[in-house]
Amino acid sequence: MYNKVILIKDTDLKRQDKTRDFYTHLLDYLRENNLHSEILLVRVADIGVYDKGLVLKMLPDRNTYINVQDTDIKRIVDSILQGKIIEELVFRPKVKQHRIVLRNCGNIDPENIDEYIFSGGYAGLKKVLGELGQQKLIEEIKISGIRGRGGAGYPTWMKWNFAREVESDQKFVICNADEGDPGAYMDRSVLESDPHSVIEGLIIAAFAIGASKGYFYIRAEYPLAVERINKAIKQAYAYGLLGNNILGSSFNLDLEIRLGAGAFVCGEETALISSIEGKRGYPHPRPPYPSVKGLWGKPTVINNVETLANIPAIISKGGKWFAQIGTQTSKGTKVFAVTGKVKNSGLVEIAMGATLREIVMDICGGTLSGKPVKAVQTGGPSGGVIPESLLDTPVDYENLQKLGSIMGSGGMIVMDEDDCMVDIPKFYLGFCVEESCGKCSPCRIGGFQMLGYLKRISEGQGKPEDLAQMRRLSVAMQKASLCGLGQTASNPVVSTLKYFEPEYNEHILNKRCPAGKCSHLVTYSIVGDKCKRCGLCVINCPPKAISGDKEKGFSIAPEKCVKCGRCVDVCKFKAISKD
């Protein structure tokens, strides 16, 4: 048995060869000093630290060293043996991530069930089957305060309890892994890095309601996730964790995988159920809710990947432990996929209550361009755009809703001053219009009409009354749409109207896009005193709209310019103006 473990990860992809050299040198040093049976060396895929060079994480102490060099090998090993810390190497982030869902990601081999068990895996299931039983299990989940991480934030214990109380000869559990938000990859990462935690959570959920059949609904665009879940399911059967008489109990459960075709609407529970049944993914009115009448008319519980990955830790450490993390109404942690104009994009797991500014500035390092943050969009296509002035808002379900956004499944996109607050909602609404199933007219017609207003405004054809009309359309969509897609599709529009209405007015009244994104409202010109007459813009202009010579200078013909922006990209002297 190893007393110590060293995890190695290089956060700079360009230095992978150096990482291999360091690994070899460190392993050689351990062998030369007869320490290779006492200290285990493991290369991992993720440690939760980014842009810090070569990173080492020591277990069980959990000290993390950053920017490590070959010359540090001896003193690092000595410090481990002596139980000391090298202060100048230790990583102390301003805002520490709190990893529960991502606790094993990068720390274990996802294809090895023994490593998951060694890290405490399936201890929660053993506790449930041997000690708790259904009623105490649901009570423990109630104490924890965990709410569904798929977007709506519905109390997990309540969903389970409804299904448990319904009498039926057959019940089902489903893991919703149909992650469709642009820029989101939280569920995929968990499925690929720690599949057994999700399987264990699904088995516990099945026991809670008395289900004997379960499904993983995974989009087919996630082949590695499908492969690893499939392998993990086979391993669980081999270890007596699935099938009949699980761990010697009377509980039986079979699991299998269903692949989704990538329809965004199938993330909605009733549409997902239709898809598993082999029907077109249409949502259905509720009630009855799936917990009463779901898959093939039987009681069904549907939880997303992140919710299920929390369950084993909650059972092992207790509901009170989990309830101490987060805020009064939003317990535990939340995983965000932070992307966009941010320096260190990646997965971030924080305790509920951390502010948006801490996530964007402290953990992710601010904008990549160095320009000021303009806004942050949370919740995917159904979320809202939050201005920089409100980034000190603590993150939880209620606070984000007050701001006109939602938690969603955890997508977070950072924007700087070069992003247009008319173009952003136009993109998201275009996505929702494309993904609408078309079953109900408020979503099908209302979304299309609102997208038309945004397109006209971005092209300089908007009218002042268009803003009031979009607000009226949004209310109709929110109140009358059949499912969450239509009910929340207008959120990006409503939030940008709320916080950035002057930018809309610039487009409508002055026919100008302040961010320079709306090509119909932008005129390209060459700034004479900045131009060095190198001729790169002339060579790279597709429509040949730039004329002149190196002696007299160059100019752009507006009637020929297609506003592709190629001249801006190639100019090294920032001599192209967008007015």
Q: How much is the pLDDT for 410? A: 85
Q: How much is the pLDDT for 375? A: 96
pTM: predicted TM-score of the whole model, two decimal places: 0.82
Buried b / exposed e across 60-85, counting CB within 10 Å, b at 16+?
Answer: eeebbbbebeeebbeebbebbeeeee
Q: How much is the pLDDT for 12? A: 60
DSSP-derived pairing of the beta strands 411-416 and 333-340:
parallel
Contacts of 257 (CB under 8 A, 6+ apart): 215, 216, 218, 226, 229, 230, 233
Contacts of 543 (CB under 8 A, 6+ apart): 560, 561, 562, 564
What is the average pLDDT score of the chain? 90
Angstrom distance (rounded) from CA 181 to CA 378: 10
Residue with token string 């990583």: 91
Q: Evaluate if residue 95 carries a pLDDT over 90.
A: no
Q: How much is the pLDDT for 409? A: 79
Q: How much is the pLDDT for 11? A: 64
For the chain, list the domains and their CATH numbers: 4-82 (3.40.30.10), 113-321 (3.40.50.11540), 333-416 (3.10.20.600), 423-509 (1.20.1440.230), 523-578 (3.30.70.20)
Beta partners for residue 526, in sequence order: 576
Alpha carbon separation from 507 to 245, 297, 411, 418, 518 (Å, rounded): 66, 51, 28, 15, 9
Average pLDDT over residues 18-45: 79
Residue 256: Cβ-neighbour burial (10 angstroms; 0-12, 13-18, 19+): exposed
Identify the three-state secondary structure at position 50.
Answer: coil
Backbone angles phi, psi at 77, to 5 degrees: -65, -45
CB 124 within 8 A of CB 200: yes
Q: Evaluate if residue 2 carries a pLDDT over 90.
A: no
Task: Read off the pLDDT of residues 116-147 as tens digits, 9 standing for 90 and up.
Answer: 999 999 999 999 999 999 999 999 999 999 99
Q: Which two three-digit tokens encode residue 56?
A: 């080492």
